[in-house]
């Protein structure tokens, strides 16, 4: 049984780890939240400090995120953003008492569906195993964010010379893993499949 779920466990956990480590680096380098902290205190602050981009503004507080890091000028920046909604900020304006349970339910339902699909896979569907493992890791990464903070940390900012309408929504490693996984699933769905051969009682293959 463990052999069957090896890809799901290893790839899923590796994706989750990569997502959380890069989000820690984003908080560490793109905000002031961990300034003055050392050792375990920095890790504790990563999960406990909230509202670092101060949007919407809170009376008496100030924006704690710093200026974006220009990795490739005009095309690729690292910019700290807190996304309370889904992709493209969908449902981000829902009241928190509704939004949090809604996204927890959606995340758990999605993970359950992925697990059910994984169990149903045939032995030769290796590409689909990797795809579902990547989607699982990405879903877990964003789910951990929502459990700890109520929002998802995004920090990868792709755009074309800051032109209006030429900016991709800010995303993270978990989002990238989900997109790659879905892409692999689409590729697999387009693959030509050989018809299943069956044998008649007389020994003929049909």
Give yes or no for a contact between 145 and 151, defined as CB atoms under 8 angstroms apart: yes
- Which of these is catalytic: 19, 53, 145, 154? 154
Q: State the pairing for strand pair 152-158/76-83.
A: antiparallel
Active site residue 175: yes
Q: Note whether 54 and 61 are within 8 A (CB).
A: yes
How far CA 139 is from CA of 6, 58, 169, in Å, comes to: 18, 30, 18
188 is a catalytic site residue:
no
Q: How many residues does the chain have?
A: 206
In the sheet with 69-72, reading across from the earlier edge strand, the strands are: 69-72, 76-83, 152-158
The catalytic site residues sit at 154, 175
């Amino acid at each position: 049984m463990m052999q069957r779920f090896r890809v799901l466990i290893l790839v899923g956990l590796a994706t989750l780890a990569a997502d959380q480590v890069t989000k820690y680096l984003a908080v560490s380098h793109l905000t002031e939240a961990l300034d003055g902290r050392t050792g375990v205190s920095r890790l504790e602050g990563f999960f406990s400090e909230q509202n670092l981009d101060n949007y919407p503004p809170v009376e008496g507080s100030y924006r704690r995120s710093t200026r974006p890091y220009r990795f490739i000028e005009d095309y690729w920046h690292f910019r700290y953003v807190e996304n309370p909604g889904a992709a493209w900020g969908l449902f981000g304006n829902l009241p928190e008492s509704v939004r949090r349970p809604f996204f927890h339910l959606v995340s758990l339902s999605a993970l359950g569906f992925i697990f059910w699909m994984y169990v149903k896979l045939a032995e030769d569907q290796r590409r689909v195993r990797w795809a579902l493992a990547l989607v699982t890791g990405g879903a877990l990464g964003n789910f951990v964010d929502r459990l700890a903070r109520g929002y998802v940390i995004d920090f990868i900012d792709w755009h074309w010379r800051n032109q209006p309408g030429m900016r991709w929504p800010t995303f993270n490693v978990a989002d990238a893993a989900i997109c790659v996984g879905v892409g692999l699933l689409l590729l697999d769905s387009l693959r030509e499949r050989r018809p299943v051969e069956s044998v008649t009682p007389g020994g003929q293959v049909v």
